[in-house]
Amino acid sequence: MQRLEVLFLAVCVGSVLAGPSPLFANTYSVTVSGQANIFGAGHATPPDPGGYGGGVLPPVVPLLQGADVAVYFGSVAGTVCYHVVGCLSNPDGFDPALRNPTDITSYGGISGILHGETAMFLVGVFLSDEEPVGPAPPRLDFSAGALTDNFPELAPALDQTFFIGDGQAQGGPQVFRPPPGATRLFLGFADAASFGNPTAPPGYYGDNSGELIATVTVVTEPRIMVSGQANIFGAGHAVAPAPGGGGGGALPPLVPLPQAAGVFVQVESATGTVCPSASPACYSNPDGGQRGPWLRTDITSCGGLSGIIHGESTMFLAGVFLGDQEPVDPAPPRLDFSAGALTDEFLELSPALNQTFFIGDGRAQGTPQTFRAPPGATRLFLGFADAWSFGDPISPPGYYGDNEGALWVDLLVSVDGAIPVRRTTLGWLKAKYR
């Protein structure tokens, strides 16, 4: 029988993360037998269309219900033997130098799986409360020329088998997002005659031995909250500055970025209202306050971060890309988003490191805008550019102390040619749980 032990149940960390709803985390220790047949997920009997034994049913992890659920693996350890003498497989599968690919067909409503470089790795599948029935969703390919197994985040469909391995990529824990309707996560292995080399149906579980122990955390996570006091000029610093007086507010939230060429960010949604002072004047949405030449932004650079100019709006959502180092002067040139300059209706923007830029609601006439990370960027910060009268006339940053309200932001982060992934504050939480 498979073992599933609850390590932490319904851990509320809402007091740590600001937001209207708490974050809950359930952590489980799951024993996965080398005979755990992923194609038995949701069925009463593990199937064996390829012969030589169907093994055992895979263990199941219950999922939290609601939006913004994510799964990640704190650790996966152990060794699995694909044959009584073939104990060569760690959680990531065989040594890629062995060049043993996986090409296993779908069965019983559950998709098969492809991997061009290894086999006998830990896999998972998200299911609803219903037993899977055909046709199965498309097979995912984790070969080097396809998805790869080094993705930062993955959002498979219901009944679609996916690679887990040790649950780690170069940037830290990988995030697995359950699809709508998912209530269960099953863990096991995809096995077949020669692992489907050539293509084969599931089977050959009968002679497997060994086991893996996986620590699985299921969380519900809030969207990114950007407080009205989030000082974009505090990005990368220990203290939010206020050279113009009026209070430095709070440090801005950060979003970790994948380390690769061609990274870009888009806004999936941005909602909320920000008040530029403790008064009923809460007129500022993500694109800023009322538009007109009497409301303009002209704020100087500070602490190695560029200021920003906008001839028609104030208190809009802003961002800045940073590397791993704390910003130092000189700052890059200020960008001007006024109607006669860049405008805020661009379709794509490529700011420099430490160069503050307009985000707003991330839309240009209804089309998602693309923000391209510069070389060396590892972090994106979100906040506001504030100053005395918003820098009219030109002023240094400050006057965050009387701001109120917040914006709630969902981002899509991707690499050219890859599947976009959602980013929230989970990057911080992963570091906390490790």
| Rg, Å, the chain Cα set | 25
Q: How many domains does the chain have?
A: 2
| 132 shares a domain with 55 | yes
Are β-strands 140-141 and 162-163 bridged in parallel, bridged antiparallel, or unpaired?
Answer: unpaired
* Per-residue confidence (pLDDT) for residue 342, from 0 to 100: 97
Among the candidates 205, 220, 235, a domain finishes at 220
Domain that holds residue 237: 224-433
| 190 shares a domain with 118 | yes
Among the candidates 204, 220, 236, a domain finishes at 220
The position carrying tokens 């263990």 is 59
Angle at the Cα of 400 (from 395 to 405), degrees rounded to 5? Answer: 135
| 324 shares a domain with 268 | yes
Q: Specify whether the backbone of 112 is left (phi greater than 0), alpha (psi in -120 to 50) or beta.
A: beta
Which residues lie closer than 8 Å to 294 by C-beta, 6 or more apart? none
| 205 shares a domain with 88 | yes
* Per-residue confidence (pLDDT) for residue 334, from 0 to 100: 98
Distance CA 429, CA 382 (A): 18
* Per-residue confidence (pLDDT) for residue 360, from 0 to 100: 96
* Per-residue confidence (pLDDT) for residue 222, from 0 to 100: 60
| 235 shares a domain with 102 | no
Q: What is the 3-state secondary structure (H, E, C) of the chain?
A: CCCEEEEEEEEECCCCCCCCCCCEEEEEEEEEECCEEHHHCCCCCCCCCCCCCCCECCCEEECCCCCCEEEEEEEEEEEEECCCCCCCEECCECCHHHCCCEEECCECCECCEEECCCCCCCEEEEECCCCCCCCCCCCEECCCCCCCCCCCEECCCCCCCEECCCCEECCEECEECCCCCCCEEEEEECCEHHHCCCCECECCCCCCEEEEEEEEEEEECCCEEEECCEEHHHCCCCCCCCCCCCCCCECCCEEECCCCCCEEEEEEEEEEEEECCCCCCCCEECCECCCCCCCCEEECCECCECCEEECCCCCCCEEEEECCCCCCCCCCCCEECCCCCCCCCCCEECCCCCCCEECCCCEECCEECEEECCCCCCEEEEEECCEHHHCCCCECECCCCCCEEEEEEEEEEEECCCCCEEECCHHHHHHHHC
- For 64, half-sphere exposure in the C-beta direction (CA atoms, 13 angstrom radius) is 22
| 135 shares a domain with 29 | yes
| 164 shares a domain with 198 | yes
| 301 shares a domain with 207 | no
Nearest to 408 by CA among 270, 254, 241: 270
| 231 shares a domain with 213 | no
* Per-residue confidence (pLDDT) for residue 81, from 0 to 100: 87
| 108 shares a domain with 126 | yes
**pTM score:** 0.56
Distance CA 203, CA 112 (A): 12
* Per-residue confidence (pLDDT) for residue 430, from 0 to 100: 32
Among the candidates 181, 199, 220, a domain finishes at 220
Name the residue type at position 152: P
Distance CA 319, CA 381 (A): 5
Q: Would you state the structure tokens that stand for residue 121, as one six-digit string?
A: 């790795």
Other C-beta atoms within 10 Å of 45: how many? 10
Are β-strands 113-115 and 140-141 bridged in parallel, bridged antiparallel, or unpaired?
Answer: parallel
> Is the link from the previous residue into 397 a cis peptide, with omega within 30 of 0?
no
Question: Cα separations (Å) of 222 from 52, 68, 393, 424?
Answer: 46, 7, 38, 7
Distance CA 283, CA 49 (A): 64
* Per-residue confidence (pLDDT) for residue 98, from 0 to 100: 66
| 287 shares a domain with 240 | yes
CATH number at residue 9: 2.60.120.430
Per-residue model confidence as pLDDT tens for the chain (434 residues): 344 554 444 333 332 233 333 345 688 999 999 999 999 999 999 999 999 999 999 999 999 776 678 898 988 999 998 876 556 678 999 876 666 899 999 999 999 999 999 999 999 999 999 999 989 999 999 999 999 999 888 999 999 999 999 998 865 788 899 999 999 999 999 999 999 888 999 999 999 999 999 999 887 766 688 889 999 999 999 999 999 999 999 999 988 887 788 999 999 888 888 888 755 555 678 998 766 555 799 999 999 999 999 999 999 999 999 999 999 999 999 999 999 999 999 999 999 999 999 999 999 988 999 999 999 999 999 999 999 989 888 999 999 998 888 888 888 887 876 544 444 444 433 332 22
* Per-residue confidence (pLDDT) for residue 12, from 0 to 100: 35
The position carrying tokens 């500055």 is 241
Distance CA 335, CA 288 (A): 17
| 228 shares a domain with 206 | no
